[in-house]
Structure 1
Amino acid sequence: MIKSSNGSESNLMVLFMSICFPAPYSLGAQLYGSGCRFTLYAPDQDCVHLLLWHQGHQPQRLAMREYKRGYWTKEVADVVAGQDYSFEISHNGQTWCVADPYAQAVTGPLSYQPPYTPSQSTLLARCQVVDHAPFDWQGVSSPQRPMCDTVIFETHVKGLTQQHPDVEPAEKGRYLGLISPAMLAFYQQHHINCLQLLPITACLPEPHLLSQQKTNYWGYNPYVWMAPDPRYAEKDAVNELKTAIRELHRHDIEVILDVVFNHTAEGGDGGPILHFKAIDQAMYLQDNQQLRNYTGCGNTLDLRHPAALKLVLDTLRMWATHYHVDGFRFDLAATVGRDGEAFHPHSAFFHAIAQDPILSTVKLIAEPWDIGPNGYQLGQFPANWAECNDKIRDTTRSVWRGDPGKLQDFATRLMGSRDFFSASHWPDHLPINYVTYHDGFTLQDMVSYAKRHNHANGENNRDGHGDNRSANYGIEGPTDDPTIMAVREQQKRNMIASILFSLGTPHILTADLISHSQQGNNNAYCQDNPTSWLNWQTKDHAWSNWFATMIARRNAIVPRFIDALSGTQRHLNQIAWRHSNGDPIQDHQWPNLQTFSCQITLGAHHSNAGQSTLIAINSSDTAQALRLPSDHQWRIVCDTATDETTVTAPEAFQCLAAKSFLVCIDSDWL
């Protein structure tokens, strides 16, 4: 504590000093009253220089001092937001420029010509000082929507609007395109309340892609985690992204970021020297001095390492506080929970998130696997996490394709996959239910291709999922055959209804709203072209309207049943499983079933006590007569046998069409 002239402790002076001079352990570029403090954690270095770049001039080269073991710092007067900088270090006898891992903006080109060299690093590694204070949020706050009321729409910033005819040219494929009038109208029409953006942090293409003049379109090769990718901005990525999020919030739409903390763009031993390999290789898991590769990308970040853990937590807090994002989807999230080779749901990372006053309040979604030992961890994440549920994806595809013996498992998936996600932890620990994701077939391709067609990726069609559980229904690819087209449309309705009306949080590929096709490419990660850019000219209005109506009905129906089946009240409701003739299903009958109905009735504890919903499935190729319970006045709100959306009253024996999914409610409470 600083002493005043009379010997008393001066809290005022301490406060003044903390405002004017950032703490030395605040890494990155920290502006203060008259300049900027640059701090880099680089314990592997004996000497670090700060480079300040000025257009058309040689950089100003300033020696940094080691404030404490591994912490290098330099205060520079008169530096303001917008200043370009990088760090100069030595590695294996060569001088390199490296990026600041804490940089909040980058200005260097996010590309290079392999092999990466020290001379190229002087351009690539350039970062920029950022001041977040001037941005005006205009009093707009986050919707803070419960997870059970959320429908997630997975979206690529560029692909969404690059070909949209009604988006201004300057906004196509950019952050501001997300909030163009055409897109805001689209969100409203389809009841979109949450966008999950594929990675938007600065990334680099892998060397093999650069050698083929391709790019990592999806963005899953992270370079600088705190910097928004400038390729999606017209001028200023920081402020344009903030503007997009503010206006999405103004329209009651949340934003979730897909984040990648399992590896970095430095790749394996032969990859480029970007930062960590030179400043602190201990951030990587080691095995006889070889980088461990639990991701398939060449290296694995070690969150047992204090510097790595701090960087990830600081990054998440930065996005939550400075950009007001509503949550994060963690790519290959089993990696962030590893303690060496073993995954632990009580790892330091999970505990740090749980006790953090900011991060514990946002949406947390895990992709619950990686390719390391025991990498499949579905259902094993902490109770405050949701998880991507591949079980419902695979089972839904199998059931509607006609694979035998899948209906019992399908019933489990419809009821929230409680074999993996105990309802005692609902609504906090919910499955994220999906049938399509960015990595795989689009919905249109699921019903149009029996095999993947990935030749354009340059890997001889060896990449991408092999087990797609898809079908073409007679012809591989597009067709004008009306019979095949009708079957495909019904199968699309079946799969989407299965996701929307199952218990959990639906995840929808935005491309599926307009039936976008990738021509059978189920791994279009390097296709920054019309293969991935949504084709708005082919939008089917009948399909789009049906989809939008079903989303609205899901939002009115499913959350109240999730609520009733959550926590201690989950056993107080009635669930009845029946054959189509109304008889109860016996356990031994499940393996051979092709049809069933499930009726859920809310118990007396619930505010809507006595209300029921009924879901009926016919996976066979012939129609069945469905006997509806006579103690309710039923209304059909979804019948995938048709694209009609009118709410109708069924007959006592309702025709359950072949390959169809039916949803009824017992009153007019939509």
Structure 2
Amino acid sequence: MFAKLAQPFPLGATLCDQGCNFSIHCPDNQDIKLILFDNNNKKKIVELDNQHMGIRYTFVPDMRAGQCYGYQITDKNEKRLVLDPYAQALSKTPFYIPPFRAEQSWDFAKSVVTEHTFDWEDTVSPQIPYEETVLFETHVKGFTKLHPHMDEEYKGTYLGLCQPEVIKSLKQQGVTTLQLLPVASCMSEPHLLDMDKVNFWGYNSLCFMAPEPRYAIADAVTEMKTMVRELHKNDIEVILDIVFNHTAEGGDGGPQFHFKSLDKNYYLQTTDKKLLNYTGCGNTLDLTYQPSLNIVLDTLRHWVTHYHVDGFRFDLAATLGRDRHYFNTRSAFFMAVAQDPILKKVKLIAEPWDVGPNGYQLGHFPRGWNECNDKFRDTVKSYWLCNKNDVKEFATRLMGSRDLFSAGGWPDKLPVNFISYHDGFTLEDLVSYNHKHNHANGENNRDGHGDNRSYNHGVEGETNNLTILYRRERQKRNLMATLLFSFGIPHILAVDSLSHTQGGNNNAYCQDNEISWANWEMSHGDELFHTWMGQMIAARKEIMAPFIRAFSGHERGHHRIQWRHSSGQNMTAEDWQNLEAFGLYMGLYKGGNELMYIINHSDIPTRFRLPEGNKWSVICDTSERYLSNRQIQTTYMQAAKSLTILFRE
């Protein structure tokens, strides 16, 4: 009877009323056995007595959720325990002391049989339209670890992220979508373990389907589902940052956790059998190989089906479309996702590059994918912070980077615009440091990007100089107002709303401490910026979202756009060279709502003549710390190095 219950698919450990089916793809290791562990860590060996296309499988009766297991292989005459690549939970936070020898594998984290019954309390996905989406990127632990108004047990956990105090703050800021740094189980790299550090960000995947145990109080599976459910109750989407470009097993000579011991073909290889490194992490997952493609697609469906997540942001996503040195928008992965009835319904965001040849693919991902727009980041930072007055480039980014993303594909093909990300300077550090200060990472400040396009305004780091502080705050408002009122999906680093500083560290991937943990103790100036930003996000939803809808698709050519001198005259072709003060006027159809951007890049105030008609409402003037509801009609004096946005119904 039980022999008939044994099946090669699905892979992994699958429970039913009679027991559990175990199935593992292991073509390079046929001498493999299933090991079951009791509560005292005593092991029971189970033969995998069935085979199919490189898969070994068996059925074990009377199995229950919570059973710890692994697979025994023979490695250089030693018995090694490997994880199930399809493991849906881990028994504990993975850790070892390098090097990872076969003997240590038996004390390492183990795979856990998981059952997914959960009370979702009839919650549904918020399904936020693209043009209304405001992404907040954050870290599950880092965002709440120092929260001052939360029970200690919840700080830094999945449940911490859905506590009433946090949800209230997210709602006040206008967050529609949380984009979480990786929550799949990960393993710190050997060099970090040698330095007694951890991979805090989590971009070193161990088991793609297992939630990271270090963010759980007791049960990562249930607690993560609870987090998603409570956020959904408050109309906040959850997007997972996910890493399929490489695994935690590193390059040649790296540790063996599963794939390396089971199937060498999971990794792209050169002709001399050396692992290709398109990721900078030692190995590259090969999605032209069917079993690799299968686990990626199975993983995505797993998170959507069992955890109800609303989408994914794919790290180094150019790798997903690679066939060795070439990127193909019609690769098997893209085609498979596009036809999948589950995956084609969720948001898909690509980091459209990797470090290999032909790795920069911004604007080249297929329909149905949004892309992180680093050209927006670089242009806007250069314009406001580096005194690079490239008016044409700035205008292109403001209007949605239509040189790369045709408005005919909007709103679903809107670019994801950003100023700061988890890697690089925070917003506060962008206006406070000229140079990176990564000494705490233990690499003599060699790590991290050198092209920060930042400006400290006269003093490196902290200062009490009120003039410098005013200029820094004004530039923060310039950067954020530009982001929120550009055409695109705004991506905001969550700690930027708190004016969090990392002390100039632009690569805090290994800093599981106050450098990375959000500082909720805000100064009076920080509080003002926090309030200003929440009000600006609300204004964006009310005013900017209808303009994005109107400028999308077939209706995009039916509206009024004028680029204007401060004198009120329309700009000519010659004016696009280093003009320091200019305006952008937009009107919907022939007599609809109107927006006016007044941009002064110069060091002196400039008076602008406004389009004739009824009075304009001032949405924001970045030279001011508060938003006002005042109205103006004919002219406006724009302060130096600032931006004003006007609206007229």
User: In the alignment, which residue of structure 2 is the partner of 1:529?
Assistant: 513
2:84 to 70, 77, 100: 100
Equivalent residue for 1:348, pick from 329, 332, 341: 332
- Structure 1's 502 and 55: CA in aligned 2 closer, same or farther, altered over 3 A? same
Which among 158, 167, 175 is matched to residue 184 of structure 1? 167
User: 2:209 is matched with which residue: 226, 234, 237?
Assistant: 226
Say if 1:90 and 1:278, in contact at 8 Å, map to a contact too: no
Please say if residues 352 and 372 of structure 2, whose CA atoms lie closer than 8 Å, have aligned partners that are also in contact: yes
Cα distance in 2, alignment partners of residues 94 and 626 from structure 1: 78
Q: 1:279 to 1:660 in 2, by over 3 A?
A: same
Q: Which 4+ residue blocks in structure 1 deviate beyond 2 angstroms?
A: 20-24, 90-95, 402-405
Pairing 1:135-214 to 2, within 5 Å after superposition: 135-214=118-197
- Cα distance in 2 for partners of 1:402, 1:254 equals 35
Q: Distance in 1 between matches of 2:416 and 2:388?
A: 25
Tell me if the contact between 1:163 and 1:536 (Cα under 8 Å) persists in the aligned partners: yes
**How many angstroms apart in 2 are the aligned matches of 1:597 and 1:303?**
47
- Is contact 2:94–2:109 with CA below 8 Å preserved after alignment? no
TM-score between both structures, scaled by the size of structure 2: 0.98
Structure 1 residue 568: Cα displacement: 1.6
What pairs up with 1:506-585 in 2 under 5 angstroms?
A: 506-539=490-523, 540-585=526-571
Any idea what SS the aligned residue of 1:291 has? coil
1:559-600, Cα deviation, whole Å (9 max, x unpaired) = 111111111211111111111111111112212211211111
Would you say how many aligned residue pairs link Structure 1 and Structure 2? 646
Of residues 383, 395, 413, the one that matches 2:367 is 383
Q: Deviations over 1:2-51 (max 9, x none)?
A: xxxxxxxxxxxxxx999x94742200000011110100010111221001
1:170-569 counterparts in 2 under 5 A?
170-287=153-270, 288-539=272-523, 540-569=526-555
Task: Please state whether the residue corresponding to 1:264 is helix, strand or coil.
Answer: coil
AA aligned to 1:187 is: L
Deviation at 1:66, TM superposition (A): 3.8
Contact 1:402 1:619 in 2 (8 A): no
After superposition, the C-alpha distances for 1:433-492 in whole angstroms (9 at most, x for unaligned) are 110000010000001101000000011101111010101111110011110000000000
Distance in 2 between residues matched to 1:424 and 1:339, nearest whole Å: 29
Greater Cα shift, 642-651 or 219-228: 642-651
Taking the aligned partners of 2:12 and 2:642, their CA distance within structure 1 comes to 56
Taking every aligned residue pair, what percent have the same amino acid on both sides? Answer: 51
Shift of 1:191: 1.1
Aligned residue in 2 for 1:621: 603
Aligned-partner SS, 1:439: coil
Q: Secondary structure at the match of 1:511?
A: helix
In structure 1, C-alpha distance between the alignment counterparts of 2:2 and 2:609, rounded to whole Å = 76
Q: Structure 1 unaligned segments of length 5 or more: list them.
A: 1-15
Q: CA deviation at 1:111?
A: 1.3
Instruction: Output the CA distance in 2 between the equivalents of 1:632 and 1:358.
Output: 49
Residue from 569, 578, 585 that aligns with 1:592: 578
Tell me the CA shift for residue 402 of structure 1.
4.2
* TM-score, scaled relative to structure 1: 0.95
Gaps of 5+ in 2: none
Separation (CA, whole Å) in 2 of partners of 1:91 and 1:280: 13
Contact map agreement 1:21 1:32 (CA 8 A) in 2: no
Q: Is 1:643 aligned to 2:621, yes or no?
A: no
SS for the counterpart of 1:537 is coil
Equivalent position SS for 2:316:
coil
Q: Which amino acid aligns with 1:308?
A: S
SS of corresponding position for 1:164: coil
Q: Secondary structure at the match of 2:554?
A: helix
SS at match of 2:383: helix
Amino acid in structure 1 at the alignment position of 2:376: I
> Is the CA contact (8 Å cut-off) linking 2:497 and 2:533 kept in structure 1?
yes
Q: What is the alpha-carbon distance in structure 2 between the residues aligned to residue 402 and residue 374 of structure 1?
A: 29
- For 1:371 and 1:188, the matched residues in 2 are separated by 37
SS at match of 2:198: coil
Deviation at 1:92, TM superposition (A): 4.0
SS class of match (1:249): helix
Identify if the C-alpha distance between structure 1 residues 485 and 625 changes in structure 2 by more than 3 Å, giving closer, same or farther. Answer: same
Matched, 1:117 2:93: no
What amino acid is the match of 1:442?
Answer: T
- 1:9 maps to none
Q: Is the CA contact (8 Å cut-off) linking 1:633 and 1:666 kept in structure 2?
A: yes
Q: 1:366 to 1:319 in 2, by over 3 A?
A: same
Residue type of the partner of 1:276? F
2:640 paired with 1:658 = yes
8 Å CA contact retained: 1:616, 1:662: yes
| 2:18 counterpart letter in structure 1 | S
Q: State the secondary structure of the residue aligned to 1:319.
A: helix
Equivalent-residue separation in structure 2 for 1:73 and 1:23 (angstroms): 7
Q: Which residue of 2 aligns with 1:610?
A: 592
Q: Distance in 2 between the 1:558 and 1:344 partners?
A: 34
User: Partner residue of 1:11?
Assistant: none
AA matched with 2:238:
V
Whole-Å separation in 2 of the counterparts to 1:46 and 1:401: 59
For 2:164 and 2:386, how far apart are their aligned partners in 1?
A: 42
Moved more, 318-327 or 630-639: 630-639
Contact 2:75 2:102 in 1 (8 A): no
Check the 8 A contact 1:140/1:250 in 2, yes or no.
Answer: yes
Query: Structure 2 vs 1, CA of residues 595 and 94 (structure 1 numbering), >3 Å: closer, same or farther?
Result: farther
Determine helix, strand or coil for the equivalent of 1:655.
strand
CA distance in 1 between counterparts of 2:76 and 2:431 reads 53
Q: Secondary structure at the match of 1:350?
A: helix
d(CA) in 2 for partners of 1:428, 1:339: 27
Alpha carbons 1:637, 1:645 under 8 Å: kept: yes
Q: CA deviation at 1:371?
A: 0.3
Shift in Å at residue 659 of structure 1? 0.7
3-state SS of paired residue (2:207): strand
Counterpart amino acid of 1:181?
P
RMSD after superposition = 1.4
